Every structure is written in structure tokens, then in C-alpha cells.
Amino acid sequence: MEMQEMAKKTALLFLLCSLMTMALPKALTAQQQQQRQGHAVIPFDFWVGGEHLPAGDYIIEHIESTSYFLFRNTNGNTLAQAYTVPLDGDPPNDGQYKLVFKIKDGKHLLYGGWGPFGRRVLSSESAEPALAERNRVDVPVTYH
């Protein structure tokens, strides 16, 4: 009787370990996707909404939502935020991630970002016509 109970416990333990092994990669993948940060070297001063930001290295975070971008420079002393809406549901491939800036009156205004969460534009830009190539500058973004 004791060997049968031990065999049942061993089988149950094996089953539980198997289930945990299958679930762990999915949980880690979801957590990693939520924690992905973008990095961009922006070679010019720019504006996010009414907020002026200097040229530099920036971290782009998606805080609890793909609709909210938080910009901070790598020194940690510059911060801006932007709310976005989807332009379409077709995310670009790795290597095609970028920030898109509209040039208006000689200023670089953040228009949107193409990243792992899709092509998104600032809420304030969503009613505007699409940007012409000559009126924009793209800055590559890498995600980690």
C-alpha cells in the first residue's frame, strides 16, 4: 500500500512540475513584453506636446498601457509624457522601430512612434492629415 501511495505522489509531483514548466515561459514572455523599453538617440531639440526636450539619449517606456509613452533622458533629469492612439493594427518588423517627428516652423514635434505595440500617433495629431515625407524626420528606436 505504501508503494502505491508513493507512486501516486510521485506522479502528481511530476504532473505539477510539467504544468509549471509549460506555464513559466508564457508568464516570463508577458512580463518581458510589459517591461520592454525603447532607446533612441535624438540628435536635435524636440517638443512633446508643449514640453521642450533637449537632444540626447532617451528611454521610452510604455507605462501600464501601450497608449502612454514616457520619455526620460538617460541622465534622468528630463521627463515628458505623451498619449497616443493606434494608426493601424500592423506592427512594424524589428529594425523598423522609430520615432516620427513632424517639422513645423523649424521645430521638431513628436508625431508618433512605430514599435512593438504598433504604429501609434499622439492623440493631438490623430485628426491631422498624414505626414508628407518632406515634413518629417525619423529616428530609429531599439527595444530591450
- The total of structural domains in the chain comes to 2
Tell me the pLDDT tens digit for each residue of 86-96. Answer: 887 778 887 89
pTM: 0.71
Are 45 and 108 within 8 A, CB to CB?
Answer: yes
Based on the domain organization, do 68 and 138 belong to the same domain? Answer: yes
Tell me the pLDDT tens digit for each residue of 114-134. Answer: 888 888 899 888 888 777 888
The pLDDT score that the predictor gives to residue 103 is 94
Based on the domain organization, do 96 and 123 belong to the same domain? Answer: yes
- Spell out, as residue ranges, where the chain has pLDDT lower than 50: 11-33
State how far the Cα of 65 lies from the Cα of 140, in Å rounded to an integer: 21
State how far the Cα of 79 lies from the Cα of 88, in Å rounded to an integer: 27
Torsion sign (Cα): 20, 22, 26, 31: positive
Based on the domain organization, do 97 and 30 belong to the same domain? Answer: no
Q: Distances from the Cα of 63 to the Cαs of 37, 67, 68, 127, 130, in angstroms?
A: 10, 8, 6, 24, 26
Based on the domain organization, do 80 and 131 belong to the same domain? Answer: yes
The pLDDT score that the predictor gives to residue 88 is 78
Distance between start and end Cα atoms, the chain:
54
Based on the domain organization, do 100 and 49 belong to the same domain? Answer: yes
Q: Domain of residue 21: give its range.
A: 1-35
